[in-house]
Amino acid sequence: MKLSLDRKTKVLLVVFLLIYIVVGVLNAIYLSKQSMGEAFKNVANRWVVKLPFGKGIFSRINPLTIFMTWAVMLVVILIAYRFKNPKLIPDRKQSALESLMEFVYQMVEDAIPDQRFVRPTFYIACTLFVFIVFCNILGGAIPGVSIEANAQGNIEKIHLFSDTWFSPTADINTNAFLAVFVFLISQVFAIKSKGFKAWAKTWFEPIPFMFPMNVIGELSKPISHSLRLFGNIAGGALLTYLLAYMAKYLFLPVILWGFFGLFVGVIQALVFTVLAIAYISSALS
Amino acid sequence: MRQGLSKYSIVMNFGVTVVSNIAVGAFLGYYIDKWTVKNHVVFVIFVLLGVASGLYNGFKYLLKEADKYDRHDKKDAEKHNDSRRD
């Protein structure tokens, strides 16, 4: 394969590689001073802030999740703003976005039986996919600022570029919100599509005796939906951290980030989207 | 590649469905028990309901997937026949 790059891209690539190598060498020097027990002492602890109101688990938040969620939202909105007026002859970026949206639209059109709900479901599915892909790749493949906390949830140390960014989808709260949102939306669509009576009747099918099983089956959907994404992303971030420490950051990370960050991230975002479409379509049919 | 991955995901989904149904049954049972009668009968009943609903929903899912594969195979066979006729 022959690559033809223009001058600007070449300069950018060289600068990126130089920064990458310098940061990698600095990190290798810094990390080799720590002992292993010290480096892994606070793995998987989260920064926790207690709110003045609420009680129990409802008064605890992880501020990093909120910052990162807003940052990703900002980036997605900026991208959307840039492509607000689509060109008739698309350039490279626009056609990439268009083919992504067409892919999602095909899936939605195949799955949703009611024609009126194809477009709303498409908007939801596409938004979910773009948001989750950004979060996952940020958390799995891009080195950045992250915070190490002790078991009580206080800040112990701030890592600059020796770990990946904290991904919002590595926090169960984000995923639980998204899954519950999909669940509620599917029920609302079902009521709108079939009417209230027919919707209520679906809970008592095939025989009225099955009502509790149907309720448990429906309620278990958001749980499996959210835990799947959470487990994959949180586990991937952890593995990347552990293995990057062992490989001293510089020699293996492309494979690690390529697999745990890019591959698993995109696959899980796709799985989340496909499941959201499947749940909405199963509620509609 | 895509076929193999989706076969794998069917097995995964079946397991996850069963386990999450049991979890939801246990969760509901625990709290209903705690707020009402406070003996553990309701909890046990809900766990059993969770197991039943897990198997019910899991097998429903499996049957749906099998149906999809059958339809896919039929479509492929028709296409094959058409191409032979040409």
- Residues of B whose CB is below 8 A from A271: 9
- The residue-averaged pLDDT of A201-227 equals 86
Q: What is the value of pTM for the model shown?
A: 0.82
| pLDDT tens for each residue of A39-74 | 777 777 788 888 888 787 788 888 888 888 999 999
Among the partner-chain residues A216, A228, A271, the one whose CB lies closest to the CB of B49 is A216
**CA-based nearest distance A29→chain B, Å:** 41
**Mutation target vs B (from A211, A220, A232; most B CBs, 10 A cutoff):** A220
Q: Is the Cβ pair B28, A216 closer than 8 Å? A: yes
pLDDT band, residue A159 (cuts 50/70/90): confident
Q: Which pLDDT score is estimated for A248?
A: 55
- Residues of B whose CB is below 8 A from A228: 16
Rounded to whole angstroms, the Cα distance separating A219 from A221 reads: 5
Contact A260, A239 (CB under 8 A): yes
Handedness of CA A241, A244, A250, A251 (dihedral sign): negative
- The residue-averaged pLDDT of A246-275 equals 73
Number of A–B residue contacts, CB under 8 Å: 41
Percent of chain A with pLDDT over 70: 92
Q: Which pLDDT score is estimated for A247?
A: 61
**pLDDT at A142 exceeding the cut of 80:** no
Contact B15, B48 (CB under 8 A): no
Q: So what's the ipTM on this one?
A: 0.77
Q: Which pLDDT score is estimated for A47?
A: 83
Among the partner-chain residues B9, B17, B53, the one whose CB lies closest to the CB of A224 is B17
CB-side neighbour CA atoms (13 Å) of A148: 16
CB-side neighbour CA atoms (13 Å) of A143: 19
